[in-house]
A and B are shown apart, each in its own frame.
Chain A
Amino acid sequence: MSAANAHHAHATGALPPEPEKATLEGRNKILGFWLFLGGESVLFGSLFATFIALRNQVLDGPTPDHLFDLKIVALATFLLLTSSLTSVLAVQAMHRHSLQGIQLWLGVTVLLGLGFLGLEIYEFVHYVHEGHAFTTSAFSSAFYTLVGFHGGHVAFGIAWIGLIMLQMVWKGLTVVTAPKVYITAIYWHFVDLVWVFIFTVVYLMGKVG
């Protein structure tokens, strides 16, 4: 977007093509959020390090190979991957200035996120019944800390996107609300990106040994 167009849009009161980057505040929010994601990467990195170091210390508890059901993991992965696509479609709807489109795609994202969270809760309850509780072994503690922390991020994301959707109902799409939509989408992609490493390192590597 050229500066001339931005100035023109401002003068006529029209929303610029990329409303999330129209104000300095919006651009700073996005930049600051990326710094936060850098920190989040380190946080998850330390949890992955703990898990990889302790993943064979099962004590008397069940082994990862015995515990994990790849069908549930595949379904959860599919739900979260699809929700990451729908959240980027919400950002594209925002670039078309379609409030309806934003609400539709964010709504689908929240529903898919809820499906993922439901599967994870079912999975954890099932594991506890199998004798794999938080304090069973170093492996179980590291597993629940890493995967639970990711699930917590999903739960937070669902609440956050839900509240942004609610705010959009009465505030509409403006240069103030646009960066919020953009940032929640970036957050959601990051949560999906971390899941790629979780299904690889925790579940698939758990099956291989």
Chain B
Amino acid sequence: MVTEHGNPAAGDEVKRGHAHEGPKNHILAFILSIALTVFAFLAVIYAHVLEAWFVIGFIVLLAFIQALVQAVFWMHLKDRGHFMQRLFLAGGALVAMMCIVMAVYWVWW
């Protein structure tokens, strides 16, 4: 908790050194996530007029876009000093994708 320490100049200096990021980006990420989710559900609800492979490709693409939006904004990956964080998540995601491609499209079929 912040304590007043009888030195207003010191408090001002700390405040000036760091501009607080408002909730705007996070609310935008939320609206974008909801919109992408709604598009994916609508694509499946109206899937009967479209080709199945097209619908699957479309919703998987939307999922990746939404995951990226959430990782960049909500998980702060866009912030400075997040190189290792990006590396760890990208590395994990890469191995996960290799698991899926190899298990499903190489070994199983």
Number of B interface residues at 8 Å Cβ cutoff, please give it.
Answer: 60
Q: Which of A81, A84, A95 contacts B20 (CB 8 A)?
A: A95
Q: Which of B18, B59, B73, B92 contacts A200 (CB 8 A)?
A: B59
Which residues of B line the A interface, CB within 8 A? 1-3, 5, 7, 10-11, 13-15, 17-18, 20-21, 23, 26-27, 29-30, 33-34, 37, 40-41, 43-45, 47, 52, 55-56, 59-60, 62-63, 66-67, 70-71, 73-76, 84-85, 88-89, 91-93, 95-100, 102-104, 108
Among B18, B45, B62, which residue has the most Cβ atoms of chain A within 10 A?
A: B18
- Cβ–Cβ contact B96 & A189, under 8 A: no
Please provide the 8 A-B residue pairs with the shortest distance between their CB atoms, ordered closest to farther: A45-B96, A41-B92, A38-B92, A17-B18, A49-B103, A5-B17, A38-B88, A200-B63
24 sampled A-B residue pairs with Cβ under 8 A: A5-B14, A5-B17, A8-B10, A9-B14, A12-B7, A13-B3, A14-B10, A38-B88, A39-B92, A48-B100, A52-B103, A52-B104, A70-B41, A78-B34, A82-B30, A84-B30, A85-B74, A92-B21, A196-B63, A197-B63, A199-B37, A208-B47, A208-B55, A208-B59
Which residues of A line the B interface, CB within 8 A? 1-2, 4-5, 8-9, 12-18, 30-31, 34-35, 37-42, 44-46, 48-50, 52-53, 70, 74, 77-78, 81-82, 84-85, 87-89, 92, 95-97, 99, 172-173, 186, 189-190, 192-193, 196-197, 199-201, 204-205, 207-209
- Cβ–Cβ contact B70 & A192, under 8 A: yes
User: Once bound together, how far apart are the Cα atoms of A77 and B73, in whole Å?
Assistant: 19
A-B pairs under 8 A by CB, number: 172
Main SS of chain A's interface residues?
helix
- Cβ–Cβ contact B99 & A209, under 8 A: no
User: Once bound together, how far apart are the Cα atoms of A35 and B86, in whole Å?
Assistant: 10
- Cβ–Cβ contact B84 & A34, under 8 A: yes
Closest beta carbon of chain B to A72's beta carbon, Å: 12
Closest residue of B by beta carbon distance from A186: B75
Closest beta carbon of chain A to B10's beta carbon, Å: 5
Give 11 new A-B contacts, CB below 8 A, not counting A88-B73, A199-B37.
A12-B5, A38-B92, A45-B96, A46-B99, A49-B100, A84-B70, A85-B26, A85-B74, A87-B74, A88-B74, A200-B40
- Given contacts A14-B11, A31-B85, are A190 and B103 in contact (CB under 8 A)? no
- Given contacts A15-B1, A192-B70, are A50 and B30 in contact (CB under 8 A)? no
- Cβ–Cβ contact B103 & A97, under 8 A: no
